[in-house]
Structure 1
């Protein structure tokens, strides 16, 4: 008997939008998945051939790339950061809409022109993508890697600018920051491990099911 497929889904902002899609695809987590006091990371579903793991968004890509999970849902920002060759992203799920942007203090933005940058220092959890983006523009980006609390970096003098995900812009406004450049628009994707896609028919079937669901919306 084959081991259950492992489907990695992210904690946080994408989860609420991902669960209805999973349900349409016939994957409903067990009741313990919704237990806020549970410390479990792996959960059964209504399908005995599919288990779910709930991990950080960056870790979704790592689990799938290395074959520890066969499928996952993750933002295109994460895919751009890691560029794993082992990952195939066949379906844009049209959820998790936001953008990856450069932000800086309001008083700096009043006179700053991104078109004149030649060297910038930026706090971000996307150092690889940020460097590539600015290199393509002829700008040298010195990236300080942070995993959170990005918006406080300018106020404490760590960096003058940040690159982070922006949705409503409310967090930026609360920290006296404004967007001055957009690196990319972001949506969430269904991702699969390339080897599993080729060797496990159930993975291929799920990809087709998600394509049908998105097309019908």
Structure 2
């Protein structure tokens, strides 16, 4: 389900290759998922420096109680990129990010069951149900997921013109920027507050443990060890 398109192979940078000799790096996403994964990290025996969870801290890399493991804290969309390029060997990443970028260099062995939400299409409540998509050949959509959005509408024979936004998607229809939005939805309260309703669910999303495929081949025992620790942590939850 997550592998939807091919991409050009990513070549790890020399710095990433050098870093690989100095232990492993675990990439974690900022925000809500960082808080939700804290019990899982603890169950896996990972105790980062205390300020890793402090969003006001300007530090981005943190040591852990395990000498051979460091943690980095980056934007959720960037976790997959750090792992794909080999700057981090393992990470925790939403399935939405994996669907959007579809890096062939990433292997996602575990569904962690946290960060549950969905990628959804939404439109103004007063227009909901009145759009005949069967007669549309083109539609303008505001989203931070251009690839997912284009694929979704292309499957219905509709060309999606993407208005790329990284936030405040809910404003786009009311201000005439787009007819629809495609965004990540958890409760739907933000949609409702801005006069929108969810009309389609594209995919249900949870966070995954991801690993760099090259690291899995070159450092199999270390990577397998951490996959097993996360699997055991999930079983104990």
TM range (shorter): over 0.9
Kept in 1, the 8 Å contact 2:120–2:185? The answer is yes
Q: What CA deviation, in whole Å up to 9, does each residue of 1:59-80 have, x standing for no partner?
A: 0000000000001101100000
Structure 1 residues 96, 115: CA separation in 2 closer, same or farther (over 3 Å shift)?
farther
2:75 aligns with: 56
Between the aligned partners of 1:216 and 1:23, the Cα distance in structure 2 is 11
State the 1:110 CA deviation: 4.5
| Alignment root-mean-square deviation, CA | 1.6
SS at match of 1:109: coil
- 8 Å Cα contact 2:35/2:53 also seen in 1: no
Query: How far has the Cα of 1:116 moved from its partner?
Result: 4.8
> Pairwise mapping of residues 132-143 of structure 1 onto structure 2 (< 5 A)?
132-143=151-162
Distance change in 2, residues 1:40/1:139 (3 Å): same
Unpaired runs of 5+ residues, structure 2, are: 1-19
2:208 match: 189
Q: What is the total number of aligned residue pairs between the two structures?
A: 217
- How far the C-alpha of 1:214 sits from its partner, in A, is 2.3
Secondary structure at 1:14 match in 2: helix
Q: Where do 5+ consecutive residues of structure 1 fail to align?
A: none
Structure 1 length-normalised TM: 0.94
What residue in structure 2 maps to residue 6 of structure 1? 25
- For residues 55 and 66 of structure 2, the distance between their equivalents in structure 1, rounded to whole angstroms, comes to 22
Distance 1:168 1:40, change over 3 A: same
Change over 3 Å in CA distance of 1:27–1:161 after alignment to 2: same
Counterpart of 2:235 in structure 1 is 215
Deviates more, 1:89-98 or 1:29-38: 29-38
How far the C-alpha of 1:202 sits from its partner, in A, is 1.5
Are the counterparts in 2 of residues 114 and 181 from structure 1 also a CA contact under 8 Å? Answer: no
